[in-house]
Amino acid sequence: MHDDRSLVEARLKRVLDERIRPAVYPESVPLDVAVWHAPGEPVPVAEGLAAEPEPIEAGARWGAPWGTSWFRVTGTVPERWAGKTVEALLDLGFDENMPGFQCEGLVHRPDGTPVKGLNPRNQWVRIGAPVAGGEEVRLHIEAASNPVILDYHPFLPTRLGDKDTAGSEPQYTLTRMDLAVFDETVWQLVVDLEVLGELMAELPADSQRRHEILRAVDRALDLVDLQDVGGTAERARGTLAGVLAAPAVPSAHRISAVGHAHIDSAWLWPLRETVRKVARTTSNMTALLEDEPDFVFAMSQAQQWAWIKEHRPEVWARVKKAVADGRFVPAGGMWVESDTNMPGSEAMARQFVHGKRFFLDEFGIENDEAWLPDTFGFAAGLPQIIRAAGSKRLLTQKISWSQTNKFPHHTFQWEGIDGTRIFTHFPPVDTYNCSMKGAEIAHAARNFKDKGVARHSLAPTGWGDGGGGTTREMVAKAARLRDLEGSARVVWETPAAFFDKAEAEYAEPPVWVGELYLELHRATLTSQARTKQGNRRSEHLLREAELWAATAAVRGGFPYPYEELDRIWKTVLLHQFHDILPGSSIAWVHREARATYDRVAAELGVIIEAAQRALAGEGTTEMVFNAAPHPRAGVPAGGAGAPAVGGRTRLTPREGGGHVLDNGLLRIGIDARGLVVSAYDIEAEREAVAPGRAANLLQLHPDFPNMWDAWDVDEFYRNTVTDLTDADSVTPGEDGASVRIVRSFGSSRVTQVLSLAAGQRRLVLDTEVDWHETEKFLKLAFPLDVHAERYASETQFGHFHRPTHTNTSWEAAKFEACNHRFVHVAEPGWGVALVNDSTYGHDVTRTVRADGDRGTTTTVRVSLLRAPRFPDPETDQGVHRFRHALVPGADIADAVREGWRINVPERRLTGAGEVAPLVTVDDDAVVVTAVKLADDGSGDVVVRFHEAHGGRARATLTAGFEFAGVTATDLLERPLADAPAPERDGERIAVRLRPFELVTLRFRRG
């Protein structure tokens, strides 16, 4: 037989596009349309329905950026359509290639009841099946004219990302607004042909199955009368029945399809728009669940569920019913799908506390999995947190975006810093927006790394990012792929059902130890510095507020602010979403975030001040409140008292220019350029700064990545660097213990104050940058005379090590990485810590000096600022303030302690004298991260702590209050069934911890 494959395939494409798909709607009549444009922000549904609209015709422009327009569509079903299925086709001006990224709508009935959402791949509303003819149709569409930010030419700077700068030019053209007959037989034929055509394209050209499908498709097309598609569709379908009925081979890959709509809680739209995106999507999904009995839909992010409950009670009622039926599934157990690199220990824990508690309170459901398909890499401390929250599984997808190395597993055990392992799945379909295309299904089967020992994978199915969810076409395709020769088998299942099968078949999956580093989007550790500073500041203020409020409540009946703290925690957790905290959202999002963080700081400041005032009592004694987990100048951790004073710092001229700071512990040499040329540890007789090099060196790089401007920094940025060594002035500080440096470069200005406090082994660097550069990357470098093959980086509830060398492509790819409060480099017996109050991105490199002593220089660089122009063209313009400290002679214990010190400054009040801590621990390796009252309002005291140095710890925890009993709990403050009872001796608890082990204790007061 002659090879006519290309001929038949081309025929199929044209006939589908030009004849069969158009015949799905063979008859139509136009609807009458009128519109009312809301004058400002979105209005309540009742107001939109009551407004008086004005007529508008198809072809008219509508919708200022970020505006809301209420369309009223009316019409009458023609009598001649009696007995047929009729749908309204409502095209607001959609580009079908941009589902979730442009205008959207939510259809309401006249009484305000939501019907379903409209988006580029879902434009229909069922009127009747069948209709009687003569029905009056009246629908109202709440339409959002969200501008297209990420267009066909992506990453172009645009002012559309903020309502204040977006202008008023209409964004969309009203297109088709019709009533139409829906021919379901033709629609089914379309799905048949699409499934077979897509499958055929994935099969080997010489396979028997491919040619069987080709011949069947050819015969079916012969039977379609192109002038009467509807009249001949049934017989064409009959010809395809045989190839569609052929069962899959027994060894076929198994795919668990999970209905999904990954909705970014903010990104190229503001938070308020996400509230509406969630309502549109969930309206769609509850409607689809009613139509499709096999379909299952899963949604994560408790915050989004809470938005439905608060803002759309009618939709909430439908969602609750679908949850009760077991087909609308809460997933993930987190407040939002957060970034996991930058949130601090307690914040990461609270993501699960608040997420899981919401689903438990509302539905009595506790799920076992963390659901994070789009998060930009995963910190090494996360497995322990997931397990401590009562979960045991993780799903992610983003690792497939890594640029350099292909991850070796799809199903595996992920081991965290404390040894906790989490069963993890990384779907081989390589998308969290699967649409059931044949290419996607075939890719999942081919790509699956665990063949031979496992055969199940998961496919999150539905339009996401901006929402929309699963479509009826996807469900129809999945039905045909349930058992089809040549394809993987597809079945709708809940995430739990998938994980149960995957774990059952793969008893000993491979283990991945340490962080799941995404080899992409590294610049998200630096972009939008104010957002990151707001997060860090909020995390520590929340710790202080809980600590002092709990102490005051136990000591003197202070009213513990349960509701306020709950609300503020949820606000901070929301802003840790993986496009807010990483700095990859539009200007509007970050403008609002800055205002929110200021408001949070003010509210927490009031709580802290009130609690401390209640604790201080009346008196004139100067008191220092120490909220850090370590004693400070004689003031106990978590207590207050008079600080010890002593020692002094000398400031003298430096030979050759500059200044010397000396406090008897460190001697810091600052040259005439304002650079640190010596940081000498007097006791150890050891110099920290590498010979011939200078620390406190600001370095400026060009920064224009190949794509994803706010997200990415590409390695070639290092090829060009400008050292900012010229100083406008270098002058001694008036306090006699500091040096002030001013530099100008480009359009920007830097003012630094380098200070060495009496009795302290740390050089503090306060840096103020008035930043007005574009597409530049500002680093602060510390070349250290330390021979280190690895360095320690703080993460949640501990730290972990990364290599300083680049022996392999895996190590070379980590040229920008995340730390929390410290980075530490060391040789045996001596090291240096660099601590910070608000920065996350850094790089560490090493080189062997070619002359002189041939020693090793290990350079630690802090990432301060970037200036990408997409999606926010004014990213980080303006004044920024950073604080860092260089700690020569530091071991890990010093790094931990100094990291806390710089982030939790002491507070001073006058009062009666001392405040004893609620709890004390006699070992610095055991770090208390939270002291609070139990969330259930019982008055119990909850204390969370972990081993922070990476070794075994034996300590005594002493409670400074009477208690009737103590219980080990999970993060949700529930007793652990398998945990031994804590060893108690009066008010003292014996603590024995593994490296980095996390423990939560609940003290029942008595």
Structure tokens at 413: 């055990």
**Catalytically annotated residue among 192, 339, 374, 837:** 374
Q: How many residues does the chain have?
A: 1006
Structure tokens at 856: 């090793």
Please give the Cα distance from 658 to 680 (Å, whole number).
Answer: 16
Q: Is 376 helix (H, G, I), strand (E, B) or coil?
A: coil
Task: Give the residue among 239, 298, 249 at the shortest CA–CA distance from 434.
Answer: 298
- Three-state helix/strand/coil letters over 136-187: EEEEEEEEEECCCCCCCCCCCCCHHHCCCCCCCCCCEECCCEEEEECCHHHH
Please give the Cα distance from 298 to 1000 (Å, whole number).
Answer: 31
Residues 6+ apart with CB under 8 A from 111: none
Please give the Cα distance from 259 to 328 (Å, whole number).
Answer: 9
- Amino acid found at 496: A
Q: Which residues pair with 578 in a beta bridge?
A: none
In terms of DSSP bridges, do strands 953-959 and 988-993 run parallel, antiparallel, or are they unpaired? antiparallel
Determine phi and psi for 359, rounding to 5 degrees. Answer: -70, -35
* Strands of the 621-626 sheet, one edge to the other: 639-641, 621-626, 907-911
Residue the block writes with tokens 């006939």: 15
Structure tokens at 53: 């609209």
Residue ranges in 29-118 assigned as alpha helix (H): 45-50
374 is catalytic: yes
Structure tokens at 972: 């949700």
Residue the block writes with tokens 């939109």: 48
- Amino acid found at 435: S
Strand boundaries in 290-404, DSSP class E: 297-299, 328-330, 369-372, 393-396
Q: Is 861 helix (H, G, I), strand (E, B) or coil?
A: strand
Please give the Cα distance from 259 to 223 (Å, whole number).
Answer: 35
Q: Is the dihedral of CA 871, 877, 880, 882 positive or negative?
A: positive
Q: Is 884 helix (H, G, I), strand (E, B) or coil?
A: strand
Task: Give the residue among 897, 825, 891 at the shortest CA–CA distance from 861.
Answer: 825
Please give the Cα distance from 195 to 674 (Å, whole number).
Answer: 68
Cβ atoms 733, 778 nearer than 8 A:
no
Please give the Cα distance from 564 to 283 (Å, whole number).
Answer: 32
**Greatest CA separation for the chain:** 103
List % helix, strand, coil for the chain (3-state, nearest 5): 30, 30, 40
State the first-to-last Cα distance of the chain, in angstroms, to the nearest integer: 90
Cβ atoms 951, 997 nearer than 8 A:
no
Structure tokens at 697: 């060196």
In terms of DSSP bridges, do strands 919-921 and 856-866 run parallel, antiparallel, or are they unpaired? unpaired
- Amino acid found at 862: V
What residues are labeled active site? Answer: 374
